[in-house]
Amino acid sequence: MNGFITLVRNLLCEGGLPQAQVFCEKALELPGWYRPEKKWDLLIVADGQFIAGIEFKSQVGSFGNNYNNRTEEAIGSATDLWAAYREGAFKPSARPWLGYLMLLEEAPGSMNPVTNREPHFAVFPEFKDASYARRYEILLTKLVRERLYDAACFLLSDAANGPKGKYWEPATELSFEHFSTSLLGHVMAAAKAKR
């Protein structure tokens, strides 16, 4: 994931953001409401203003347990941050931008349909026979549509082609271009507002 973090940092800096305002190696902690702090993967903080935060996650193997953990983590991190924002933790910042980028291994375990147990109630129809890849696509789409994140990116890559930098995007709404355009638009608007 370091390559994607570097790519996003470089895009921001090429867009005119000073590198000193992009944090991706240290000083990544932000206060939460339900916990003291949470460490993000990339932050943009300029002149005491929290502009944007991004989570970069990947998953190789162990799809069942890791999918549930990633889901709970993504929902929890955003919920915690927005509660902290509501309570004034980032004053005098305007509403920050939140993003989530997920790279999933394309393998039989992530691409084959998964059954649900449903001992008491039926799952929602979109989850019927959905693979873990499809479940991630559903998750990230819902996270954006519920405004927990401003944009999300979902990438798939297999073990042979991933190290060569090859990946594919199963959903246009979750493409890297859409993700980066949304981020750059917010960051540039925030920079103009400060002038």
Q: Whole-prediction pTM value?
A: 0.91
Give the pLDDT band of residue 194 (cuts 50, 70, 90): low
Q: What is the pLDDT of residue 141?
A: 98
Mean pLDDT of 144-166: 90
- What residues make up the domain containing 99? 2-194
Over the stretch 25-76, which tens digit does the pLDDT of each residue have?
A: 899 999 999 999 999 999 999 989 999 999 999 878 777 778 889 999 999 9
What are the two backbone dihedrals, phi and then psi, of residue 74, each rounded to the nearest 5 degrees? -65, -45
Q: In which residue are the tokens 């019927």 written?
A: 128
Give the pLDDT band of residue 163 (cuts 50, 70, 90): confident
Give the pLDDT band of residue 195 (cuts 50, 70, 90): low
Q: Work out the mean pLDDT of the chain and round it to a whole number.
A: 91
Over the stretch 65-118, which tens digit does the pLDDT of each residue have?
A: 788 899 999 999 999 999 999 999 999 889 999 999 999 988 888 888 998 898
Q: 3-class DSSP state for residue 35?
A: coil
Residue ranges with strand state E in the chain: 22-23, 29-31, 37-39, 42-46, 49-59, 97-105, 151-157
Number of compact structural domains in the chain: 1
Mean pLDDT of 11-35: 91
Q: What is the pLDDT of residue 59?
A: 79
